[in-house]
Amino acid sequence: MESIKEHWEHVYATKRPDEMSWTQAVPQTSLDLIESFGLPVSAGVIDVGGGDGRLVDGLLDKGYTDITVLDISAQAIERARKRLGDRADRVTWMVSDIVEFKPVRTYDIWHDRATFHFLTHGEQVDAYLGTIRSCATSGVVIATFSTDGPERCSGLDVQRYSESTLEERLSTGFTKMGCLTQDHTTPFGTQQRFLFCAFRATP
Ligand SMILES: C[S@@+](CC[C@H](N)C(=O)[O-])C[C@H]1O[C@@H](n2cnc3c(N)ncnc32)[C@H](O)[C@@H]1O
């Protein structure tokens, strides 16, 4: 059976951005929520499951100097690096399964759009939340499919969240700042309802 890593390597080896439902030209909501923390552009930001998404482009445009992009797919990271050209050298790139990721430093902001929701087993969720608690010092911006969003993505089951269930997951170590739902229009013209939430780390 295909592993999760093989699955995602295959996706990024065979699909263009306009063939992937999650593609966004400008990840404005993520950028706005990251900026809502009011941190300087020297803040450390990690984009978990960043794929070849454009959050990193937006953060570089805003002058952020300490950006890390992590993804299980080496193909995804390679695509993002190629797209950015010389600017890619200003970013730290990591290929890792987020469930096994053992950070060796802290990050001010942990960002995740559409990765956490692929963790459908309790022990995976617990490992992920433990990692956040150990390394996210200012807060977390997280986007999952909403309870009325799709049940699957990229052929995989997802765990959908309501504001209260996501808040409950993050309740140890974090306080909710705010949540919003957003209908993402896929490159094929369909809609996917996302839940975005920002959480502040509790001292
Ligand atoms: C739906 S895409 C979202 C990509 C990007 N965050 C965005 O919003 O455009 C999910 C991403 O999570 C990555 N991913 C899935 N499971 C992962 C895991 N266990 N560890 C790290 N990355 C993972 C995939 O390779 C893919 O790039």
- Whole-angstrom CA distances from 118 to 66, 122, 130, 136, 145 are 26, 12, 17, 20, 10
pLDDT for res 133: 97
- Find out whether the beta carbon of 114 lies less than 6 Å from any atom of ligand 1: yes
- Find out whether the beta carbon of 128 lies less than 6 Å from any atom of ligand 1: no
pLDDT for res 52: 97
Would you give the distance in Å from CA 32 to the centre of its chain? 14
Lookup: tokens for 118: 């692929």
Q: How many angstroms separate the alpha carbon of residue 70 from the centre of ligand 1?
A: 9
Sorted by sequence, the CB contacts under 8 Å of residue 160 that are 6+ apart come out as: 117, 144, 145, 146, 147, 148, 149, 151
Domain spans, the chain: 4-18+25-201
pLDDT for res 203: 85
Amino acid at 173: G
Please, which residues bridge with residue 47 across strands? 69, 111
Ligand 1: atom nearest CA of 118 is 16
Lookup: tokens for 26: 């400008």
d(CA 24, CA 39) in angstroms, rounded, equals 24
Q: How many CB atoms lie within 10 A of CB 117?
A: 26
Question: Under the phi-then-psi rule, with left for phi > 0, alpha for psi from -120 to 50, and beta for the rest, what region is 163?
Answer: alpha
Q: How many angstroms separate the alpha carbon of residue 57 from the centre of ligand 1?
A: 17
Is 4-18+25-201 assigned to CATH 3.40.50.1000?
no
Ligand 1: atom nearest CA of 30 is 8
Q: What is the pLDDT along the chain (203 residues), one digit of tens a residue?
A: 899 999 999 999 999 999 999 999 999 999 999 999 999 999 999 999 999 999 999 999 999 999 999 999 999 999 999 999 999 999 999 999 999 999 999 999 999 999 999 999 999 999 999 999 999 999 999 999 999 999 999 999 999 999 999 999 999 999 999 999 999 999 999 999 999 999 999 98
Q: Cα Rg for the chain, rounded, in angstroms? A: 16
To test the ligand 1 pocket, which listed residue (2, 8, 185) has its Cβ within 8 A of the most ligand atoms? 8
Q: Which amino acid residue places its CA nearest to atom 5 of ligand 1? A: 50
d(CA 70, CA 72) in angstroms, rounded, equals 7
- Find out whether the beta carbon of 99 lies less than 6 Å from any atom of ligand 1: yes
Task: Name the helix (H) or strand (E) containing 139.
Answer: strand 136-145
Q: How many angstroms separate the alpha carbon of residue 73 from the centre of ligand 1?
A: 8
Instruction: Give yes or no for a contact between 164 and 154, defined as CB atoms under 8 angstroms apart.
Output: no
The CA angle 134-137-139, to the nearest 5 degrees, is 105
- Find out whether the beta carbon of 97 lies less than 6 Å from any atom of ligand 1: yes
